[in-house]
Amino acid sequence: MASLGPVNSVLQSCRGATRWLAAAALASSLLSSRATADGGSKAPPSAEPAQLRISGYGLVGNRELKRTLRTLELGGKKPEFFGATFVEDAALILAATLEREGYLRPGIDIELTTVSGETVRCSAGELQASPLPQSLKAKAIHFKVNKGLLYHYRELEFEGLASIPEKEARSYFLETGTLLRLKRARVFTPAGLQRGVSSLTSRLERLGYHEAAVTVVREDVSPESGEARVRLRIEEGPRFMVSSWRQEFYFENQTQPAEVRMVYPGKPYSRLWVQDLEQALRTNQFRLGYPDAKVTTRTVSRRSLEGLVYLDLVSEVHRGPRIRVAAVGFRGTKATQESFLSRRVRVERGEWLDPLKAEQDRTRLAQLGIFQRVEVAYEPATNETREVWFDLKESRRFNLDLLLGYGSYELLRGGAEAEWNNIWGLAHRAQLKGIQSFKATSGEFTYSIPQFFGRDLDAFLDASGLRRDEVSFVRKEYGGGVGAHKYLRPLHTDLTVRYHYGILNAADAGPEFAVEGVTEAAVGAVIAEFKHDRRDHVLYPRKGYKLFGTLELAAEQLGGEVNYQRFEGAASWHRPLGGGRYLGLGLGHGVVIAKGDPTENLPFNRRFFPGGESSLRGYPEGEASPRNAAGKFVGAETYTLATVELEQSLTTHWSLVLFADALGEAQRLDDYPFDTGLFSVGGGLRWRTLIGPVRLEYGRNLNPREGDPSGTLHFSLGFPF
């Protein structure tokens, strides 16, 4: 294998620049001292932060590298100038980051602008051997990146692999779930190779091949082309099974077990399996007040039979002393009231010390959202008691975030969200959000009180306003209310119940829209929402399912002018098919029931208007809605939407999608569940980004009505269901 060399060997020397900077710094120091001695004063420092620039790694890559430096080296701060230590550390971090991405021989040039206005150009090599003068103060730094070759696998071979498919083994070293096998999906690095070897070895051990060994027998890397040819030899050895497992429990200072249990697992043996079981034994002792419980496991017998090795194990559980809680305290708080924190923890003075219970309290404190760090520590008080301390670091009390999005109907969306944390030192939070698009203006304000009514129940007040140009009318809604939220951890379910009072208005209906029912009304309603999310990822779901539902009960007794009940629910299911293919199924249903005559009790705004990028994709926003006899959109009182989607990964960032959407709807509830069916099929491309998939999709209508489009092109951001 050709030597790749350490980071410093790929960076050029800047010894000459180092000497120049040292001389410049000395001269600046002498001139400054002389001016002070003559009665002069130093110029006040500039309030503008120093400038950091990175180029040569692409638009997105440059931003990522810059964010890495600001996070790791600057802690998110913007200093007035950069010192020598920052320059040297930044060069090493950039080189290491590029190497991790597969660019094993990068070059980095540095351009410095000192506080005196001088410009110095040098490369970033051998900075450890020839460090910059510590008196250096740079007002601006420009790192110019020369990536060099992208090192990638040309060949990856396995010898002796029998227990798992080769495709699975390859997945530990490179991307296997893409249709196009580009270099970016076959990145080679020495560290990545070792991680793959470790992962493959662990996988074999999990299957019971306790003595499995994975050895690199060939590692040829070409510095001219960046191609790597690797061959691995796998020696699986015999498969180990656990025949019996004896558990012995010892009290403090006992030599004979106080309790013995026998278990016959019949499971493959591995160190990881043993570690999991030992942790379970310790956990059981923690709950009983033995925080120092230790478990040791050994093999007492071994026998071979028909190619398998059967083991008999013994685990000794030494409980140690039983400990009570002497005190519970908090450290590191400045703005947060300690009495508030005390009411949020369940560990109490005088009870048996359970580290698991303390860890749950640590999680509860972290969920308040007002701390950057929450840690728990135990300090001895006596031989039989310990103090429990929560070490806290408070977060920033004010945050301002910019919002940006895009949709086929509203087009570009932009706005800002301001957040005030830990108000009154009681973890209260206020959020103010405003969004403007080409079609809508909206604003929301929420004041939340965490763990208000009970230990796991949050209360909130909210107010909102919306003006949105729909297809042929203007939607105006504003109001506010009060509610409570609870997360049911065992069920992984969010529940929200709130009272809302608002004004709904449907104005300026165009000639293509028939506004039927109540066009303006005051609505008092109780709204219940639930969400059960078991997907593996929020932005890019590949496996799992989600259930969501909203029930709205509006009545005159709640302060409004109308009476109706509205339900809308949705479900999605995702499953990987292998080979970078993913199947997604979506199902949505909505129904609104008005008391008596709908024209007197159903606000036009509360009807359903299907169609759009996250609905029936062959139609623009809202235009899959039912039409009356004159061909005008009137909205639906019930609908059912079904979606089937197949996604094929082309590369790590691009994928191809095919979909079919089916909509059943009815203008009147009397025709429930539907009297009209519409169908769309289509496909598109998706680009994977940090904020969600960017989608370009075209839906073709199979049975358009008179006046409907033959199809619609959508460009949007976010997963459709």
For the chain, the average pLDDT equals 88
| CB-based contact 278:272 (threshold 8 Å) | no
Residue 596 has pLDDT above 90, yes or no: no
**Could you tell me whether strands 239-250 and 308-318 are parallel, antiparallel, or unpaired per DSSP bridges?**
parallel
Residue 514: band (very low, low, confident or very high) from pLDDT cuts 50, 70, 90: low
Cα 363 to chain centroid, rounded: 18
Residue 567: band (very low, low, confident or very high) from pLDDT cuts 50, 70, 90: very high
| CB-based contact 124:131 (threshold 8 Å) | no
| CB-based contact 446:431 (threshold 8 Å) | yes
Tokens representing residue 560 in the block:
């409004």
The rounded distance, in Å, linking the Cα atoms of 139 and 114 is 5
Q: Name the DSSP class of 82.
A: B
Q: Which of 145, 166, 158 is nearest to 55 (CA)?
A: 145
- Percent of the chain topping pLDDT 90: 67
Beta carbons within 8 Å of 322's beta carbon, 6+ residues apart: 252, 288, 289, 290, 352, 384
Q: Which of 545, 572, 574 is nearest to 647 (CA)?
A: 574
Q: pLDDT tens digit string along 183-199? A: 888 999 999 999 999 99
Q: What is the DSSP string of 677-696?
A: EEEEEEEEEEEEETTEEEEE
**Rounded average pLDDT over 230-247:** 96
Q: pLDDT tens digit string along 295-350? A: 999 999 999 998 899 999 999 999 999 999 999 999 999 999 999 999 889 999 99
Give the chain's length: 721
Kindly tell me the burial class for residue 264, based on how many C-beta atoms sit within 10 Å of its own C-beta (0-12, 13-18, 19 or more): exposed
Three-class DSSP category at 51: strand
Three-class DSSP category at 424: coil
Q: Name the DSSP class of 185.
A: G
Backbone φ and ψ of 310, nearest 5°: -100, 135
Residue 599: band (very low, low, confident or very high) from pLDDT cuts 50, 70, 90: confident
The rounded distance, in Å, linking the Cα atoms of 58 and 145 is 10
Q: pLDDT tens digit string along 423-462? A: 999 999 999 999 999 999 999 999 999 888 656 789 999 9
Instruction: Give Rg (Cα) of the chain.
Output: 33
Cis peptide before 106 (omega within 30 of 0): no
